[in-house]
Amino acid sequence: MKDLFSLKNKVVVLTGGSGYLGSAVTEGILEFGASVVIADIAHKKHEETVSGRKAHGKSADVVCDVSDTASVREMFRKTKELYGKIDVLINCAAFGAGFGPAGTVDKMSDEDWTKGLDGTAGVTFRCTREVVPYFEENGGGNIINFSSMYGVVSPDPGIYGNSGQNNPVNYGAGKAAVLQITRYCAAHLAQKNIRVNSITPGPFPSPKNLPPEDFMNNLRNKTMLKRVGIPEDIVGAIILLASDASSFMTGSNIVVDGGWTAW
């Protein structure tokens, strides 16, 4: 049982692997022995992501724009060239549109609406579609999708006040779609021996972009545990889903939100 969570000999593609949560996930996966392709549009952050870390696995940076099919295809092709196969895809990259004053329900443009949906549901679908042939070649595979607490419940406008940080409607709609994509793909890819699960983070404000302290307090108070998440809080659930410890799990969703969505 002690190797249940091992990722040794697994090749993991992590989109958005240079980001706030993606960096911690990269570190965790490497420590559990996998080889990781960090597929992110932000090339420069790669050294920060992996440097100085005591990794047991190997990592490679493959610049990729998940909004662009050709770029996604090239990223998977390169992964195969580098590591010979793909075992796990983690759809973590996301981009939004319509944040701020122009993003209220009555003001959001068609362009922002569509872009925000593509940055959540679209990128998840696109990367899933493109990875399936690699999984078929390999006799199976494993997909982990990042949703959000705002794919489960609405933002409470009362806690945002005039902070300008309210979360726009297209983000949550897209993240709710990610949960349904997870269930649909789990059902329809099971016969190809592909598992699909999702993870639903709660509030993980990045220190690079911290909201004002009164708003931070509102965030803390909306959780049962009275704190916001730190990136390490997400890693255990990812290791579970990426490893054979979850071999009988598919179509499920692990919520890591300090209790935000449970009351």
Contact pick of 7, 10, 12, 22 for ligand NAD (by CB under 6 A): 22
Cβ closest to ligand NAD, residue 155 vs residue 205: 205
Placement of tokens 């996301």 in the chain: 94
- End-to-end CA distance of the chain, in Å? 35
Question: One of 83, 134, 150, 171 is an active-site residue; which one?
Answer: 171
Whether 218 and 159 have beta carbons less than 8 Å apart is answered as yes
Sheet of strand 88-91: strand arrangement: 59-63, 35-40, 11-15, 88-91, 141-146, 194-201, 253-256
- Smallest distance from the beta carbon of 191 to ligand NAD, in angstroms? 28
What angle in degrees, to the nearest 10, is found between the helix axes of 169-189 and 123-138?
20
d(CA 127, CA 139): 18
Lay out the site mask for ligand NAD across 119-158 (x = CB under 6 A, - = otherwise).
Answer: ---------------------------x-xx---------
Phi and psi at residue 166, in whole multiples of 5°?
A: -60, 150
Q: 184-203: which residues touch ligand NAD (CB under 6 A)?
A: 201, 203
Cβ closest to ligand NAD, residue 83 vs residue 150: 150
Contact pick of 13, 26, 30, 40 for ligand NAD (by CB under 6 A): 40
Lay out the site mask for ligand NAD across 56-95 (x = CB under 6 A, - = otherwise).
Answer: --------xxxx------------------------xxxx
The total of other beta-carbon atoms located within 10 Å of residue 167's CB is 19
Catalytic annotation on 83? Answer: no
Q: Considering only 12-20, 52-60, 107-115, 245-253, which stretch makes contact with ligand NAD by CB under 6 A? A: 12-20
216 counts as binding ligand NAD under rule CB under 6 A: no
- Smallest distance from the beta carbon of 189 to ligand NAD, in angstroms? 21
Q: Which amino acid is at 89?
A: L
Task: Please report, for residues 22, 119, 218, 232, 243, the alpha-carbon distance to residue 25 in angstroms, rounded to integers and kept in the order given.
Answer: 5, 20, 27, 8, 13
- Smallest distance from the beta carbon of 43 to ligand NAD, in angstroms? 9
Q: Considering only 39-47, 136-144, 186-194, 238-246, which stretch makes contact with ligand NAD by CB under 6 A? A: 39-47
- Smallest distance from the beta carbon of 116 to ligand NAD, in angstroms? 11
Phi and psi at residue 48, in whole multiples of 5°?
A: -60, -35
Active site members: 171
Q: In the complex, which residues of this chain contact ligand NAD (CB under 6 A)? A: 15-16, 18-22, 40-42, 64-67, 92-95, 146, 148-149, 201, 203-206
